[in-house]
Amino acid sequence: MKRQIPLVNAEIYHIFSRSIAEYKIFNSQHDYSRMLQMLQYYQMDPDSSFSYFITLDSVSKNGFKIYLDEVTQDKEKLVQIIAFCLMPTHLHLVLKQLQDDGISKYFGNILNSYTRYFNSRHKRKGPLWEAKFKNILVSQNEQLLHLTRYIHLNPVTAHFVNKPEDWEYSSYREYIGEGGACDYSDILDITPQTYKKFVNDRISYQRELAKIKAIILD
């Protein structure tokens, strides 16, 4: 068995996980929204499950984000979320590890929690994800910038939308001016205008590259 290399604090990783047999795991806006909230909730290694948290009266009264900030204000984050994209059969995250074993705890909590939710909702049993998540070290800022563009263009490359800002389930909108879960200001020196051009200039090329890849693998 291949030995797992421990993930290192202060390093940035591209984290990727796919469903078993490319099973469609996000089937509705509710499914996507659930995962988007979980991405924020499990950053702080909470004391209770996400399912319990969202049933609390305080969440419905104050709103998810407001109450989440209240209950986690004294907790230290396991990871820093730099970018993400949810796709029907898989998800991409770009994370900086902040605590020992932080990424493993964070991603394990997310995958396990979503599996329980999905199996209950769809009356199924068994695992949902292909295997332990994959990780790739991102060692340079230029490499990181290109990686964010690649994952933000995933929905466009798959022809789900024509423009990346039309996909609600990625961090692209945060990169072009909207607030959200990501924190990359101390890592990437970009403006919304320059980033938008940087991404849009690559749309046709990435779609052609995907066609070539499909032909080769067919």
- Residue 67's pLDDT is 84
Burial (CB count within 10 angstroms: exposed 0-12, middle 13-18, buried 19+), residue 11: middle
For CA atoms 149, 153, 154, 157, give the dihedral sign.
negative
Partners of residue 93 on adjacent β-strands: 15, 84
CA distance 21 to 71: 38
Q: Quick check: helix, strand or coil at residue 170? A: strand
- Residue 217's pLDDT is 42
- Residue 33's pLDDT is 94
Q: How many residues does the chain have?
A: 218
Extract the tokens encoding 50.
């996400």
Q: Amino acid identity, residue 139?
A: S
- Residue 218's pLDDT is 46
Closest CA to 104 of 46, 151, 52, 42: 42
Ordered structural domains, the chain, with CATH: 12-217 (3.30.70.1290)
- Residue 168's pLDDT is 95
- Residue 56's pLDDT is 86
Extract the tokens encoding 86.
């949810």
Residue with tokens 């990346």: 164
CA distance 23 to 88: 8
Backbone φ and ψ of 172, nearest 5°: -55, -45
Measured from the Cβ of residue 53, the count of other Cβ atoms closer than 10 Å reads: 19
Extract the tokens encoding 197.
């051009």
Extract the tokens encoding 105.
């705890």
- Residue 196's pLDDT is 94
Residue-wise pLDDT for 29-74, tens only, equals 999 999 999 999 999 888 888 988 888 877 877 788 888 888 787 7
Q: Which residues of the chain have pLDDT under 70?
A: 1-4, 209-218
CA distance 1 to 202: 39
Distances in whole angstroms, Cα of residue 138 to Cα of each of 39, 119, 162:
20, 33, 28
Query: Is the separation of the CB atoms in 196 and 174 below 8 Å?
Result: no
